Structure 1
């Protein structure tokens, strides 16, 4: 059987059809390609626009970043300055001028001595700070409070009356040495200097600008509570003690705080007035003051009598001139003879300093005991006084007498009145047992005035 022969026309049409299909397919793919190309071109243009936008934004961000970097640098500098400021470079020096008394040599030089004292104080404190805390731009402030009248009276009583003339000039020189040094007379009010120092300590030590407080009151245990309060509040690291006397108050020494000791700036020992009979009886005894039998004497003292008492700022005795004036009647009476039978009632007429103390007994147990008012101020009872006026007392006796006298209440404070003696008062303004007084709790303590049990 013969195979069918394909029709040439049919083959041609089929081939053309295939070509046409392929061409259409190719055309379609070209058009699709062109469409994708246009879309890609449009997308590319859009992306370029967005890229330009981002470039502009990035440029702005870079400029802002540079600005912030500059601002950060300036802020860090300001922060450092503030931190340095907050660290504090202020040094506050507080001095109780009734205890930390400048040396005789400095006071005797008047204004020049005052300027020298200020310079010595400043140089010594700065050297101490630099050696222990590093060199910094320290600013030193000095506040010194004192009782001028009491201080000059004491100078007279210890034989340093010549210092009274130059003392005012000394104060002027000290105050003029620098604008930040202040030496102020606070008057003779009781504990006036103490109050100011305590307030300054409490306020200044809390300020962030205060780097250190140099406290020149470590001779007086009365500042212990204030110093402990500062310790408890977290300011122990700011405290430095400034020694006046060679020995600190034992309670303050126990705080174990760093201290500065400046040679030849302050008097190293407490001034002790001379015994009122030193010249009259040629006795070497020195007066310090006190007694154990003052409760009876105190109750007999009237306000009028107390106003006439002439004591120094520490309550240590009468002035020598007053002693001479008031001793004259007693000296005239001292020529009378005493018989053994009348000894106990007539000892007020004895020669001053003629009776010896029984060393085996305390002053309060002597027969009769020495008169507190006679030895510490003025006894107005004369021959009617039941206590002795003629004992030969040494410094230890006067010290015992003064310590014991403070165990009795000041009659004016006990009545709720203002003590006109101020710092000159030799009697107690506070109960020695303070808030722990067992007699106060049951209402029988002889210290009855307001706040007489408030001092720690």
Structure 2
């Protein structure tokens, strides 16, 4: 009880009135304490109910947060998997083979077989490269590109000068057969000029080795020490692991062997010594590469279809790794035709480089355009060093942007053009350029003059907003020609 008995007088010694008074006092004090306890109990009950309500809210919030956390964890795992898949796609296993054909010359035994020899050389090259990669780096989905740059007339003259008349005669058929062996096998005649092939190879080496998709560069220019500086620069830049040397001559040029790079040697594929010091031509015709059939008797017809696939030799059956992909041979065409586009529409479909010309600046007003900017027919293609398109930004945002007239027709500024003529464009890039060109008015129609190209003109003959153009109502539209804001009689997607 919450009272002090020492404060009250002794009940037993007290008189009856005093004892009753004392008992009443203690009773009142106990009653007050009981009322306080009961009152506090209701407060405690209310407090407990509030705490339980808050706990319920917190539990519900926790459950929601936990559910959201699990969802985010699932999304994180999916994003991580997608990231890994994208990294694997970006990484790729692209293998680029660069051959200096003026020094890495295919053997006479293969060349005298003509078209069939070209197929055989491509088969030997693919087999050996893929087998080397599989043995040293594992069985992956390798994609093989082969570029051979050479001076055809110079080689043919040298063949004739050293007495290899049959080799000279069959060389063009050999080139055709090699080019037909697979889609990504290319022999390119770079023509006369000092170090013409070297310039091509150095440009490809510099561009391809930096691509994340490029797994290896097979470099076939070990006969020329002029490549030492370029190779050493790539090694210093951190690309040593991507380089493999492909030996042609028995002795490599001074400085190349000192680079400490892996070396691949393919027996019987290339001449082992400088042209002119090899075996006599009389011995060439009677010999054939080991493991390959001899050339058929009589002239070889390149138009005969080839059904033999260009494949990697079978892997060890005990290995569980997936074998590298096959590279299918293409059937040679029965005829070779060259055609010149007769219309503007057909001309713009040719995905080739043309004589450098500028495009129309879409940011300039129509007042700065002249009739000189009217597109002209395309001229003969000119091949120059190219740059890749950044897929993350529109073409118009590139610095400099691609030249519209260069890719769709022809313009006259040449090397002085401030727009780009060296982009490697795909079909969708040409579509984007054509669509953007239609957003600019045709200079001739804009001045009230007839357009020589008519409906095939790359520029717009009508404002895309037609009668709804509020810029025209404000006098600020670039399309100022007569009837350029009327609904065209024929205006469809094909016109774009």
Matched, 1:187 2:191: yes
> Are the structure 2 counterparts of residues 185 and 26 from structure 1 closer, same or farther at C-alpha, using a change threshold of 3 Å?
same
2:171: which partner in 1? Answer: 167
> Are the structure 2 counterparts of residues 213 and 19 from structure 1 closer, same or farther at C-alpha, using a change threshold of 3 Å?
same
> Are the structure 2 counterparts of residues 35 and 176 from structure 1 closer, same or farther at C-alpha, using a change threshold of 3 Å?
farther
Matched, 1:14 2:18: yes
Contact conserved, 1:146 with 1:193, CA < 8 A, in 2? yes
1:22-421 aligned at under 5 Å gives the runs 22-272=26-276
> Are the structure 2 counterparts of residues 32 and 112 from structure 1 closer, same or farther at C-alpha, using a change threshold of 3 Å?
farther
- Offset of 1:142 from its aligned partner? 1.2
Q: Secondary structure at the match of 1:211?
A: strand
CA distance in 2, matches of 1:207, 1:172: 29
Deviations 1:28-64 (A, max 9, x none): 2222111221111111111111111111111111111
Q: Secondary structure at the match of 2:96?
A: strand
Structure 2 residues not aligned, in runs of 5+:
1-11, 279-496
- Offset of 1:87 from its aligned partner? 4.1
Deviations 1:138-177 (A, max 9, x none): 2221111011111111111122222233322222222222
- Offset of 1:91 from its aligned partner? 1.3
CA distance in 1, matches of 2:174, 2:56: 82
1:427: which partner in 2? Answer: none
- Offset of 1:259 from its aligned partner? 0.6
CA distance in 2, matches of 1:102, 1:61: 69
Contact conserved, 1:98 with 1:151, CA < 8 A, in 2? yes
Q: Secondary structure at the match of 1:77?
A: helix
TM-score, length-scaled by structure 2: 0.51
How many residues get paired? Answer: 267
Q: Secondary structure at the match of 1:266?
A: coil
1:450: which partner in 2? Answer: none
> Are the structure 2 counterparts of residues 112 and 22 from structure 1 closer, same or farther at C-alpha, using a change threshold of 3 Å?
farther
Q: Secondary structure at the match of 1:254?
A: helix
CA distance in 2, matches of 1:194, 1:67: 57
CA distance in 2, matches of 1:112, 1:11: 142
CA distance in 2, matches of 1:247, 1:122: 23
Q: Secondary structure at the match of 1:215?
A: strand
TM-score, length-scaled by structure 1: 0.55
1:366: which partner in 2? Answer: none
- Offset of 1:86 from its aligned partner? 4.8
Deviations 1:106-158 (A, max 9, x none): 22223322222122111211111122222222222111101111111111112
Q: CA RMSD in A?
A: 2.2
CA distance in 1, matches of 2:124, 2:17: 128
CA distance in 2, matches of 1:95, 1:215: 6
CA distance in 1, matches of 2:179, 2:40: 96
Q: Secondary structure at the match of 1:93?
A: strand
Higher-Rg structure is: 1
> Are the structure 2 counterparts of residues 220 and 11 from structure 1 closer, same or farther at C-alpha, using a change threshold of 3 Å?
same
Contact conserved, 1:157 with 1:273, CA < 8 A, in 2? no
Q: Secondary structure at the match of 2:205?
A: helix
Stretches (4+) displaced over 3 A: 85-88
- Offset of 1:256 from its aligned partner? 2.5
CA distance in 2, matches of 1:161, 1:48: 103
Deviations 1:221-279 (A, max 9, x none): 111111122122222222110011111112212223211000111111211289xxxxx
> Are the structure 2 counterparts of residues 29 and 187 from structure 1 closer, same or farther at C-alpha, using a change threshold of 3 Å?
same
CA distance in 1, matches of 2:242, 2:153: 33
Higher helix share: 1
CA distance in 1, matches of 2:209, 2:101: 20
CA distance in 1, matches of 2:131, 2:176: 25
